Amino acid sequence: MVFLKTFRGSALVALFLCLAAAASWLLPMRSAADVVFDKGRLQMTLTTGEIVSLDVEWALTADQRARGLMGRERLADDEGMLFDFGVTRMVTMWMENTILSLDMVFIDEEGRVVRVAERTVPFSRDIVGSGVPVRYVLEIRAGRASELGIAEGARLVLPLDYATDAKP
């Protein structure tokens, strides 16, 4: 009889834990409106010596980096998003829930562009990797990196003037 009471108690605990886990999946995900980005101006020195400027949103926190440009329907020619991972490391990105095709510019800790992944595929779960350790990723409208002349060897002007005190 003790075994049966213990079994019922364990079964109830297991049922409760399963229901709690299932409920967490049913809770709505944070909407795009829940994640706010500060904006600022970014400059890059091209290999030709020319300087280009972009208006970017800063993705500095884990929530901001997770949201990125997902769900965006438009991105102007002079706009983008700069992801700062806070440390130099291998970085992988993907395009799930991203409507727009983007160019991903991978930038090392010194601000040097080390890779440009052009015209990424919207809604793709394929991994787009940095290939080498980087600190930053700049996302801009697809084809814009080539139009502006952003290529390996270009440099992000450092130090960056973040519009926020948020920490990665």
pLDDT band at 26 (very low <50, low <70, confident <90, very high): very low
Beta-strand relationship, 79-89 and 51-59: parallel
Tokens, residue 166: 């948020």
Q: Is 99 left (phi over 0), alpha (psi -120 to 50) or beta?
A: alpha
Minimum mean pLDDT range among 6-20, 30-44, 147-161 = 6-20
pLDDT band at 162 (very low <50, low <70, confident <90, very high): low
Q: Give DSSP secondary structure letters for the chain.
A: -HHHHHHHHHHHHHHHHHHHHHHHHHSPPPPGGGS--EEEEEEEE-TTS-EEEEEEEEE-SHHHHHHTTTT-----TTEEEEEEEEEEE--EE--TT--S-EEEEEE-TTSBEEEEE-SPPTT----EE-SS-EEEEEEEETTHHHHHT--TT-EE-SS---SS----
Its CATH class, for the domain covering 34-156, is mainly beta
Model confidence pLDDT, tens digit, residues 62-78 = 999 999 999 889 999 99
More confident residue, 99 or 29: 99
Model confidence pLDDT, tens digit, residues 80-110 = 999 999 999 999 999 999 999 999 999 999 9
